[in-house]
Amino acid sequence: MNPHDDSNVADSSSNARSPPEGFSVESSSSSATSKISIPSYTKILVPHDGKEASDKALGQAIYLSNLSGAEIVILCIIQDVEKFEGTSVDISQNKITHNQNSFELDIKGELVNIMESKIKQCTEAGSKNKISYGIRTGHVVHEIVKACQETDYDLVIMATTHFDSWLHSIFSETRKIISNIRTPVLIMH
């Protein structure tokens, strides 16, 4: 054998050779890929407080919704009902079922107009899928956690402004929400 003859040297970087019959070769990258599950979104929750950061979160939701076909649910939580002048809340018992626990909540006025306007803005921005909204009263953390427990959301996209220091991030409402739900959360900063 001539030491300068390269014809008998195997090139390990070449894929030109096939494995002997009965053997299979798996690359480490193909086995790693088979263990990764790609999420499928059907319903995305976006808590919205009316601020620009929440609009950015909504923009991300529109993008992911357009890719996946997911419905977007915009959740508005009111902590102080007196702030919304021109909004009325009517609670009445459903007379068809005669069930004491069956009440109908009807919210009318400026708040509904704001939410309808937000949906229109989403459509104008290019949203192709269903968009709905929910309005709740109470503490933000409790209401978002409750919403995630009541409905099977695939993703929550929310904005935060409290990741500027470790102390703020420990006590932020976003951190409290993440700690109390099992739904994946995308945080916009």
Q: List CB contacts of 116: < 8 A, sequence separation 6 or more.
A: none
pLDDT tens digits along 46-102:
999 989 999 999 999 999 999 999 999 999 998 876 665 555 555 444 455 444 455
Half-sphere exposure of 12 (CA within 13 A, CB side): 0
* Higher pLDDT, residue 23 or 71: 71
What's the pLDDT tens digit per position in 160-182?
A: 865 555 555 556 888 899 999 99
pLDDT of 89: 55
Q: What is the pLDDT of residue 37?
A: 86
pLDDT at 122: 96
Give the per-residue pLDDT at 162: 59
Tell me the pTM.
0.69
d(CA 160, CA 141): 13
Write the pLDDT tens digit of every residue in 111-164: 888 999 999 999 999 999 999 999 998 999 999 999 999 999 999 999 886 555
Interstrand relation of 185-188 and 155-159 (parallel, antiparallel or unpaired): parallel
Q: Write down the mean pLDDT value for the chain.
A: 77
What the block records as the tokens of 36 is 């990764």
What separation in angstroms does the CA of 61 have from each of 79, 160, 178, 182? 24, 15, 18, 19
